[in-house]
Amino acid sequence: MSAPTRSPRRWWALALIVLAQFMVIMDTSIIGVALPRMQADLGFSQENLSWVFNAYVIAFGGLLLLGGRLSDLLGARRMFAAGWLVLLAGSAVAGAAGTAWVELAGRALQGAGSALIAPSALTLLMMLFGATPKELGKALALYGAAAPAGGTAGVFLGGVITEYLSWPWVFYLNIPIAVLALALTPALMPAGSAQRGSTDLLGAFLAAGGLAVAVYAIVRAPETGWGSAETVIGLVAAVALLAAFVVVQAKRRTPLVRLGIFRTPDLGAANIAQLLLGAAWIPMWFFLNLYLQQVLGLGAFASGSALLPMTTVIMLLMIVIAPRLAARFGVKTMIVSGLVVLALGLGWLALVRPDGSYAADVLPASLVAAAGMALAFVPSLGTAISAARPEEGGLASGIVNTSYQIGSALGLAAMTALATSRGVDRIGDPAALTSGVSAAFVGAAGIAIAGALIAGISLRGKRSATEPQTTNA
C-alpha cells in the first residue's frame, strides 16, 4: 500500500468504499427472507438450505487472503474494480438460476467478487485517510457501521423485494450498483502502486478447501451423526488442509500470508475477536429471521421491517457514540464490554416463546444485542488493520475480513447443527422450532462470552484503534 494520500475527493471516495462494504455484507443476509421461496422454486431441502448462505461465505472467506495479496501486488483500485465485475457476473447467474446447483455456483461467484472488493476497499480507505488519525477514526466508524447495517438492512430489503417483486431480484439489485461503482472508481480512487511478487494459488486453494470441508462436515453432522465416519473424516480432512496451508505459508518465499505478521502486538487478538464476533452475530440474525417467519408468522416484508430498529441502533452507536467511548476507555474495554453486552442480548433472545410476540420477545433483546455488536466491531476492526505495516495493508485487510467471514460460516454451521438437534427442522411445529432457535441463541451467547474472555486476556492496554504503532514483525 502506498503512502496515505489526502485526496480532495476522499469523502466521496469514502462513500463508495462504505457502499462496497455495505453491499458485500448485505449479500450475506439479503437472501434470508427469500429462502423459503427459493427452497420451493429450486428444490432445496430444509437441511441444505443454509448452503445458499454458505456458498457465498465460503468463497468470500476462503478467497479473502488471496484478494488481499492481489490488492497489494496489482493495486487496490484495479482489484476493487475487478471485484465489482465478478460480483456483477455472479449476481446475474444467481438471479437467473433454475436449479439448486446453478444457484450455488452463482452465490460462490458473488463471494469471489466480494473477496476482491473487501480487502481492496480497506486498503483504499487507509490510503485516503491514514495520514490523519482523526479523519481515520471517522472513516473507520462509517466503514464499520456499514457491515452490521448492511447485514440487518439486507433482511429488510430482502423482505421488500421478495414480497413485492420476486426472489431473483435480491441478486439483480447488485447489477446497477456494480455498474455505478465501476463508473465512479477511476475518478474517485487513488491509483496506488503495484509491487513485485507472486500469487500463492496453492495457499488460496488450501484455505478455501479447508473452510469448505469444515462447514460441510459440521452442517451434515446432525443428519449423519457426530461420530459417523463421514463427519470424522470430513473434520480430519479440514484440519489437514488448514495445517497444510500453514506449512505452505511458512516455506514459501512469497506466501499468501506472512506468518510473522501475527507477531504484531494485538493483531492476532483483534482478529480472534472479529472471528468470534461473526460466529455469534450471524447465527443470531439467521435464526431470528427464522423465528419471525416460521413461529410468529410474519410475512417477508414484516419480517424484514422488524429488524430495522437494530440497524438504527447499530449505526447511531457506531458513528456517534462508540468512537468517543473508544477514545476515552480504549479498545480493550470496548471489545470486551461489547462482546459481553452481545452475549446478554443473545441470552435474552433465548427466552423466546412459541406463542410470543415481537414487542416482548424480540425487540428489546435484539436492541441489546445490536448495542453489543456496535461497541465491539469498530475497535476490533481498527486494531486489526492499523497494527500492520503500511505496505501490508491489503494483507491485514484480507486477514480481518477473513476472520469475520470464517467465524460467520463456522458459527452458523455449528449453530445450525445445534438447532437441528433441538428440532428447528420440524416445520409446522412452533414448539420444536422455538426450542431449536433458542438453543442457537444460547450457543451464540457462549461464543460471545468466549470472545470476551479471550479479548480480556490477550489484548493490551488502552491504545486507540486508530493510533499508529510500530512493529518489529
131 vs 281, higher pLDDT: 281
Q: Which pLDDT score, from 0 to 100, does residue 466 have?
A: 46
**φ, ψ for residue 14, nearest 5 deg:** -60, -40
- Based on the domain organization, do 338 and 266 belong to the same domain? yes
What integer pLDDT is reported at residue 366 of this predicted model?
93
Q: Return all residues near 15 (Cβ < 8 A) that are at least 6 apart.
A: none
Q: pLDDT-based confidence at 368, cuts 50/70/90?
A: very high
Same domain as 237, residue 110: no
Instruction: List, for residues 105-121, the tens digit of each pLDDT value.
Output: 999 999 999 989 988 88
Phi-psi region of 334 (alpha: psi -120 to 50; beta: other; left: phi over 0): alpha
Of the residues 240, 255, 270, the one at which a domain ends: 255
Do 50 and 117 have their domain in common? yes
Q: How far apart are CA 36 and CA 143, in angstroms?
A: 31
Whether 192 is in a domain gets the answer no
pLDDT recorded at residue 449: 96
Q: What is the pTM of this model?
A: 0.76
d(CA 447, CA 373): 13
Q: How far apart are CA 72 and CA 118, in angstroms?
A: 13
Task: For residue 473, name the pLDDT band (cuts at 50, 70, 90).
Answer: very low
Task: Please indicate, yes or no, whether residues 94 and 231 belong to a single structural domain of this protein.
Answer: no
| Least-confidence region, from 177-191, 295-309, 429-443 | 295-309
Q: Which domain, by its residues, includes 146? A: 10-187+256-458
Confirm if 192 and 127 have CB atoms less than 8 A apart: yes
Q: Is residue 467 part of a domain?
A: no
The answer on 275 and 237 residing in a single domain is: no
Name residue 306's amino acid.
Answer: A
- By mean pLDDT, which of 201-205, 298-302, 385-389 is the weakest? 385-389
Given 255, 273, 297, the domain boundary residue is 255
Interaxial angle between packed helices 10-29 and 76-96, expressed in degrees from 0 to 180 and rounded to the nearest 10:
30
Task: Quick: pLDDT tens for 340-351.
Answer: 999 999 999 999
Answer yes or no: do 243 and 102 share one domain.
no
What distance in Å separates the CA atoms of residue 66 and residue 200, rounded to the nearest whole number? Answer: 8
Residue 229 lies in a domain: yes
Q: Which residue has the higher pLDDT, 453 or 192?
A: 453
* Listed range (124-128, 155-159, 296-300, 459-463) with the worst mean pLDDT: 459-463
Same domain as 97, residue 31 = yes
Phi-psi category of residue 297: left, alpha or beta, with phi > 0 → left and psi -120 to 50 → alpha: left
How many helices (H) and strands (E) the chain has is answered by 18, 0
Assigned domain for 333 exists = yes
Does position 318 have pLDDT exceeding 70, yes or no? yes
Domain count, the chain: 2
Residues 349 and 359 reside in one and the same domain: yes
Q: Is 111 helix (H, G, I), strand (E, B) or coil?
A: helix
Q: Closest by alpha carbon to 463, among 272, 335, 349, 311?
A: 335
Q: Minimum mean pLDDT among 96-100, 148-152, 295-299, 339-343: which range?
A: 148-152
In this predicted structure, the answer to whether residue 231 has a pLDDT above a threshold of 80 is yes
Q: Which of residues 181 and 202 earns the better pLDDT score?
A: 181
What is residue 6's predicted lDDT score, i.e. its pLDDT? 62
Do 452 and 336 form a contact (C-beta atoms < 8 A)?
Answer: yes
User: Could you identify the residue written with the cell 451434515?
Assistant: 220
If asked whether residues 93 and 207 sit together in one domain, one would say: no
Which letter does DSSP use for residue 369 in this model? H
Q: What average pLDDT does the segment 223-227 reach?
A: 78
The CATH number for 116's domain is: 1.20.1250.20
Residues 310 and 207 in one domain: no
Residue 193, domain member (yes or no): no
Residue 2, in any domain of the structure: no
Q: What is the model's pLDDT at position 150? A: 77
Rg (CA), the chain: 21
Give the mean pLDDT of the chain: 82
What pLDDT, on a 0 to 100 scale, did the predictor assign at position 471? 36
State whether 16 and 49 are in the same domain: yes
| pLDDT range class, residue 468, cuts 50, 70, 90 | very low
> Does 470 score more than 70 pLDDT?
no
Does a structural domain hold residue 4?
no
- Within this chain, do residues 170 and 225 fall inside the same structural domain, yes or no? no
What pLDDT was estimated at residue 81?
94
Write down which residue in 239, 255, 271 finishes a domain.
Answer: 255
Q: Where are the beta strands (DSSP E) in 204-357?
A: none
Residue 336 reports pLDDT greater than 70: yes
Which is it for the CA torsion 88, 92, 95, 101, positive or negative? negative
Range picked from 10-14, 63-67, 411-415 for highest mean pLDDT: 10-14
Within-domain flag for 183: yes
Instruction: Say if residue 152's pLDDT is above 70.
Output: no
Q: Is the pLDDT of residue 444 over 90?
A: yes
